[in-house]
């Protein structure tokens, strides 16, 4: 089913996630290929965001490994992890913009830390990144002075400041109206197509999933493991798991999915 000719970018192998002795998800194994828009989906409380946090190294797995371009992230030293993280752009559910800094300062921060651009170049790059997300001219605004949708886009501008290879999104369209959410989706696709980055996102917005995802994994809360993996459009119609078909077609659990 998969186009295996593409190269593996992120490999999750036999990952088990647990809080103490409480297992959240176990035996997770899947690949994210270069240029994928990969969606982690599942019902509420199944551990989607937890999986993302493991991939970002904010939480440590109980067992298993996550490999980026063939290099183990779990066994990497702190310095190696830092180097790998620098190739990532991350937007958090609430944006994660630093509220005491203007948008320009927020985007300048990673540039200042990790590049040797001159101040003039930094300013021009900040202007370009803000323009990319449709916020040209908003340099001097504080996050509290702009709307929620704009904050999400500003967070995206910060995430792409360093031209990342991988973009992570935690619920990008949560709390956005359908139009803003659609625009954000389009933006993600455009950025992905023009930069060739790999996108990993956690979402349960069906519209987003069908519009932009090229591959996905479904985490099940009751069996505590992944029960399906593949292109969500294919899974909707052909998944062997009734739960996945129900999830993707928004039908109730009472066997409605069998009606034509």
Partner 1 sequence: MSEQAPGFQLQHGTGDVITLQLSGDWLQGQETADFTELRTELARTGASTLIADGATLGEWDSLLMAFLLQCHDFCSEEGIEFSTREMPESAQRLLAVATAVPPQKPAKEAPAPWFKSIHPVQILHDLIDDLRESLAFVGEITLAAARLVAGKANTRFTDFRTFVYQAGPDAFAIISLTSVLVGMILAYLGAVQLQQFGAEIYVADLVVIGMLREMGVLMTAVVMAGRTGAAYAAQLGTMQTNEEIDAIVTMGISPVEFLVMPRMLALVVVMPLLTIYADLLGMIGGGIVAGGMGITPLQYIKESQNAISLTHISVGLIKSVVFALLIAVAGCRSGINSGRSSAAVGQAATEAVVTAIVYLIIADAGINILFQQVGI
Contacting positions for partner 1 (CB under 8 A): 98-100, 115-117, 120-121, 124-125, 127-129, 131-132, 134-138, 140-144, 163, 187, 190-191, 193-196
Q: Which residue, 139 or 225, is less far from partner 1 as judged by CB?
A: 139
Measured distance CA(10)–CA(69) in Å, rounded: 6
Count of residues making up the chain:
260
What is the nearest approach in angstroms of partner 1 to the Cβ of residue 196? 8
Strands 88-91 and 166-170: parallel
> Based on CB atoms, which residue is closest to partner 1, 28 or 159?
159
Is 195 within 8 Å of 34 (Cβ atoms)? Answer: no
Query: Which residue bears the tokens 């967070």?
Result: 155
CB 143 within 8 A of CB 202: no
- For residue 224, what are the CA distances in angstroms to 21, 62, 74, 96? 14, 14, 21, 29
Least separation, in Å, of the C-beta of 170 and partner 1? Answer: 17
**Which residue, 107 or 243, is less far from partner 1 as judged by CB?**
107
Q: Which is nearer to partner 1, 27 or 193 (CB)?
A: 193
Distance in Å, CB of 187 to partner 1, minimum:
7
Nearest distance from C-beta of residue 123 to partner 1, angstroms: 9
237 close to 60: Cβ distance less than 8 angstroms: no
């Amino acid at each position: 089913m998969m186009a295996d000719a593409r190269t593996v970018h992120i490999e999750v192998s036999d990952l088990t996630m647990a809080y103490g002795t409480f297992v959240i998800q176990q035996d997770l194994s899947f690949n994210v290929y270069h240029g994928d828009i990969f969606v982690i989906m599942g019902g509420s409380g199944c551990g989607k965001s937890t999986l993302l946090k493991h991939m970002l190294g904010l939480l440590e797995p109980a067992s298993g490994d996550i490999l980026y371009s063939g290099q183990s992230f779990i066994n990497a030293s702190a310095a190696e992890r830092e180097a790998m993280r620098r190739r990532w752009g991350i937007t958090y559910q609430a944006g994660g913009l630093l509220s005491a800094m203007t948008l320009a300062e927020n985007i300048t921060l990673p540039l200042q830390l990790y590049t040797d651009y001159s101040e003039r170049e930094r300013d021009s790059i900040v202007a370009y990144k803000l323009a990319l997300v449709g916020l040209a001219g908003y340099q001097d605004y504080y996050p509290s002075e702009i709307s929620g949708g704009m904050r999400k886009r500003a967070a995206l501008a910060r995430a792409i400041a360093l031209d990342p290879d991988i973009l992570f999104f935690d619920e990008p369209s949560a709390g956005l109206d359908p139009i803003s959410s659609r625009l954000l989706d389009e933006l993600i696709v455009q950025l992905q197509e023009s930069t060739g980055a790999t996108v990993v996102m956690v979402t349960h917005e069906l519209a987003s999933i069908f519009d932009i995802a090229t591959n996905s994994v479904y985490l099940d809360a009751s069996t505590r493991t992944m029960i399906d993996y593949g292109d969500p459009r294919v899974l909707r119609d052909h998944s062997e798991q009734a739960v996945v078909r129900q999830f993707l077609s928004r039908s109730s659990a009472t066997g409605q999915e069998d009606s034509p």
